[in-house]
Amino acid sequence: MKKNIVLFGFMGTGKSSVGGILAGKFGMELFEMDDEIERRESSSINDIFEKKGEAYFRKCERRLVKELSDREGLVISTGGGVVLDGGNISDLGRNGVLICLDASPRSILERTGEECYRPLLLTPDPSKKIEELLSFRKPFYDLIPHHVRTDGLSVDEVAGRVLGILERSGWRRDVRETGDVDG
């Protein structure tokens, strides 16, 4: 069995970029949960939030997680709020190594500042919003077993630290057994 690699973390912590590196390295599929929800809903995340509301979006996330927990060989980049439903963490943990990318409010602001596709940060004071959301969500992110602090690190460096976690958790051994990865 090849376990999924599941990346959690607040918006702007680098889940997609780091996930892309890991997927490339191991020849796995990068599965972007947000992209899949947009595809299924034929609507952007912004539009889903605006027209159907956050609760509806969370239901879409929940439904998708239930499906993903039966799949394998994926690098899954989750949306930053997926941790809010504890069922998501336990479902993804059934067949995945769970890793959370952490960053300070300042790094998050720097990384998300110019972007406008995150409905929760489309407020007059994104800095305050980031701090509020981060402190509310901290206990949820703390439920993830492995963490990588990303402040001041390049995406390659973060990917390197994730690789270290995977090795220590025996994940590479799982992969070698399937013969999918060099060395």
Helix (H) or strand (E) holding 74: strand 74-77
Shortest distance (Å) from residue 47 CB to ligand S3P:
11
Question: Which of 20, 119 has the CB closer to ligand S3P?
Answer: 119
Shortest distance (Å) from residue 168 CB to ligand S3P:
25
Shortest distance (Å) from residue 133 CB to ligand S3P:
7
Distance, in Å, from the CA atom of 54 to the CA atom of 120, rounded to the nearest integer, reads 9
* DSSP E strand stretches across 113-169: 146-149
Per-residue tokens: 172: 């590479």
- Residues near 25 by beta carbon (within 8 Å), at least 6 away in sequence: 159, 163
DSSP annotation of 136: H
Per-residue tokens: 89: 């963490």
Residues near ligand S3P (CB under 6 A) are: 11, 15, 34, 45, 79-81, 118-120
Question: Which of 120, 155 has the CB closer to ligand S3P?
Answer: 120
Shortest distance (Å) from residue 165 CB to ligand S3P:
20
Shortest distance (Å) from residue 169 CB to ligand S3P:
23
Question: Which of 2, 118 has the CB closer to ligand S3P?
Answer: 118
Question: Which of 34, 73 has the CB closer to ligand S3P?
Answer: 34
Per-residue tokens: 143: 């439920």
CA angle centred on 41, ends 64 and 137, rounded to 5°: 50
Q: How far is CA 38 from the centre of its chain?
A: 16
Question: Which of 13, 95 has the CB closer to ligand S3P?
Answer: 13
